[in-house]
A = this chain, B = another copy of it.
């Protein structure tokens, strides 16, 4: 229900909990109307929410979208017949379809600034959600996929200034159409292999610090082990956000596969005991260890 009523009504299965996440996407901050194709903005809006569900190992159930748009974006443009809003929904619903995820409701309003707020509801068996707080000293640190591609893609996007090539691939594609690791999160949760997990939305240095803070531990990362995307730099891999890969920990005794549902898994470091004077995250390099400051995306306030 929902279309035509004041609320949508959800039913969860017995023994399941619901995971809820909300994510704002704001013109000029999370996307640029003059640079990003509308389909990419729609895709990225939903991908952010799906990635939060993936981090908890939740199965996506349903989505709600609140959309505030300037009126011109809801109407056909001069030279095209498809309004910006339709193309935005093409991108969002295209990604949703792959997860058989219904858009159950939301709100729509006119606004001088384009803002999308996505609400995702997922299901997870009671008490089984992957949390940030479960990492223990001795755990091994893993990451899915490759790092830094989205940050490299943003730089590419800025150079194109809206005149994108017909064929979008590589880092640019990673930025415009990120693939949230939903199947990988559910896989890890089902097999109970991960002690803690987070999605890389703000950047490795920042998101790993979150795991350490919530778990009361510190971490070491081997610079040489990082799966850096071939178009990205080490700095982009360490601090670039929006890769939407999963960062997770597991007991050292676990035999982790090389890939989960077609996406590679790489061991990049380990969790150690917190001790006075030890940095939250240490990067081990050829020149020796150095503290790794959280320099990814920071929400104000």
Contacts and interface: CB of A to CB of B under 8 A. Distances in A.
Contact of A110 (B11, B29, B64, B105): B29
Contacts of A18: 9-12, 18
A183 interface: no
Contacts of A10: 17-20
Interface in A124-171: 124, 126, 129, 131-133
A107 B23 CA distance: 6
Given A29-B111, A117-B107, A56 B24 contact: no
A9 B64 contact: no
Nearest to A115: B115
A53 to B, nearest CB: 6
Contacts of A7: 19-21, 52-53, 55-56, 58, 120, 122, 129
Given A7-B58, A117-B117, A131-B5, A20 B64 contact: yes
Contacts of A56: 5-7, 9
Q: How many interface residues does chain A have, given as a range?
A: 35 or more
Contacts of A300: 71, 74, 108-110
A301 B69 CA distance: 10
Contacts of A64: 20, 22, 119
A14 interface: yes
Contacts of A52: 6-7
A117 B24 contact: yes
Contact of A214 (B4, B112, B213): B4
Contacts of A132: 4-6
A104 B22 CA distance: 11
A85 interface: yes
B9 A21 contact: no
28 contacts: A4-B133, A5-B132, A6-B21, A6-B55, A6-B132, A7-B19, A7-B20, A8-B19, A9-B17, A9-B18, A9-B19, A10-B20, A12-B12, A12-B18, A14-B14, A18-B18, A20-B64, A20-B105, A22-B64, A24-B109, A26-B68, A71-B300, A108-B301, A109-B299, A110-B300, A111-B115, A112-B113, A115-B115
Interface of A: 1, 4-12, 14, 17-24, 26, 28-30, 51-53, 55-56, 58, 64, 66, 68, 71, 74, 85, 104-113, 115, 117, 119-122, 124, 126, 129, 131-133, 198-199, 210, 213-214, 299-301
- Please provide the 9 A-B residue pairs with the shortest distance between their CB atoms, ordered closest to farther: A7-B19, A6-B55, A117-B117, A6-B52, A113-B113, A7-B21, A10-B18, A24-B107, A66-B117
